[in-house]
Amino acid sequence: MKPFPFQKVVLAPLLLAIPVLLVLSGSTKSDHPENRSKNQQKGWEVLFDGHDLTKWQNSTSDSIPYKGWKIENGTLAVTSGRVGGDIITRESFRNFELELDFNLTESANSGIKYLVNRIKNAKTNATSLMGIEYQIIDDFNYPEVKPEPNSTISTGAVYLLYPPRNKKLLPPGQWNKVRIVVNGKHIEHWLNGKLLASYDRMSPDFQEKVAQSKFRDYPDYAKADSGRILLQDHGNHVYFRNIRIKRLD
């Protein structure tokens, strides 16, 4: 699959001598100086400008991602094979709106985690990078999701905790827009302009769901005031673009 096809340009004979500049259809909007200025004026900070990954690092080291992640036509692509590992922002964020676009390949699986911190497992005392996850997956073809495309493991779900509602997911090869709002204990998941989930991470209902999930052995799960943003390498080819964040503090 080629998510970013080039447009063929046909020129009339009289125009053949005129130089033509071809622009890749996969280039991002945010990397244009005018759009960068508009982002800044509206309080948005661009986390990926289509050119470099200086605001990101490997989840297991301080190095800039270079293996398994690459920049293709202004997009950020995680490649197949799970050779790169997850990546996280260098900076932590407290209250914010996060926006990005994603484009899946067939049967791909990924995710966006937020409020990511290293927390301890009460049983083993081992620490792991943990955060709340906005699930990204091919609802149309992934075997475990296809029968129930609105389950707690489907796109837009608060992974394993809350299912998405009113979802309008576009299929692999098309771009979908994510919006995540974190404002204190209140959190919202949006997809393509539709609110999918809204919850209170300190509520008894949320805590009960955590207690019934694989996160139950992490007493500090989802309790941090701030944390990093993580993009997941799940071994499948997935594209991201227009990644930006607005602080609400």
Cβ burial of 63 (10 Å; 0-12, 13-18, 19+) is: exposed
In 85-200, which ranges are E strands? 87-89, 96-104, 109-120, 127-137, 176-183, 186-191, 194-200
Count of domains forming the chain? 1
Pairing of strands 127-137, 87-89: unpaired
53 found inside a domain? yes
Burial profile 168-179: b = 16 or more Cβ within 10 angstroms, e = fewer: ebeebeebbebb
8 found inside a domain? no
28 found inside a domain? no
| Alpha helix segments (H runs only) across the chain | 33-41, 204-211
∠ CA 137-26-150, nearest 5°, is 20
Domain around 163: 45-247
9 found inside a domain? no
139 found inside a domain? yes
Query: At 134, which amino acid appears?
Result: Y
pLDDT in tens for each of the 249 residues of the chain? 444 443 433 334 333 333 333 323 444 454 454 455 566 658 999 999 999 999 999 998 888 887 899 999 999 999 988 778 999 999 999 999 999 999 999 999 999 999 999 999 999 999 999 999 999 999 999 999 999 999 999 999 999 999 999 999 999 999 999 999 999 999 999 999 999 999 999 999 999 999 999 999 999 999 999 999 999 999 999 999 999 999 998
pTM: 0.84
29 found inside a domain? no
**Domain holding 49: CATH number?**
2.60.120.560
